[in-house]
Amino acid sequence: MDALSTLLEEIKQGGQAQSNFLGFLHVLVGRKIARQSDKAVLSQGMSWRDLANWLKKLRWDPDAVRELGLEPSELPPRDRQRYWYGAIAHAHVDSRAASEAGDRFAEVLRGMGYDVGPPPHA
């Protein structure tokens, strides 16, 4: 998971998830991510709970949920894992819109040196 935490930190610092937070969530939940250089698999997809924990651990900007049409004040303010879990639940990461956003975010990751698998049920 060290390589995954490095990738997530790089995305956070570089702002690649800004304006495509839904695609970011979709890719992390439902797609395989591997480095192009050595084909090492960073993730086979993760549960909502695991992703919520990563967002909490990385201290992701809570205002990112605005891109999902949510107000930060509508989510649990004191428990960040529940906050992010609720945001992911409301994002409909299994929708067609999320899959299309995931395709756009996959292109961003390819430009960063990562291969992203197809969406589930593709």
Examine residue 103 and state whether it is found in any structural domain, yes or no. Answer: yes
Strand locations in the chain (E): 33-35, 41-43, 114-116
CB atoms near residue 87 (< 10 Å): 26
Examine residue 35 and state whether it is found in any structural domain, yes or no. Answer: yes
* 93 contacts 29 by C-beta, under 8 angstroms: yes
Over residues 90-109, the mean pLDDT reads 94
Q: How many residues does the chain have?
A: 122
Examine residue 96 and state whether it is found in any structural domain, yes or no. Answer: yes
**For residue 100, what pLDDT is reported?**
95
Residues 105 and 25: their CA atoms lie apart, in Å, by: 9
User: What is the CA 86 to chain-centroid distance, rounded?
Assistant: 14
Q: How many domains does the chain have?
A: 1
Over residues 96-107, the mean pLDDT reads 95
Examine residue 101 and state whether it is found in any structural domain, yes or no. Answer: yes
Range of the structural domain that residue 57 is part of: 2-116
Examine residue 58 and state whether it is found in any structural domain, yes or no. Answer: yes
**For residue 3, what pLDDT is reported?**
85
Q: Tens digits of per-residue pLDDT, 8-56?
A: 999 999 999 989 999 999 999 999 999 999 999 999 999 999 999 999 9
Q: What phi and psi, each to the nearest 5 degrees, are found at residue 43?
A: -155, 145
Examine residue 122 and state whether it is found in any structural domain, yes or no. Answer: no
Examine residue 33 and state whether it is found in any structural domain, yes or no. Answer: yes
Residues 4 and 99: their CA atoms lie apart, in Å, by: 21
Examine residue 121 and state whether it is found in any structural domain, yes or no. Answer: no
Per-residue tokens: 101: 């956003």
Q: Tens digits of per-residue pLDDT, 46-86?
A: 999 999 999 999 999 999 999 999 999 988 888 889 999 99
- For residue 1, pLDDT beyond 70: no
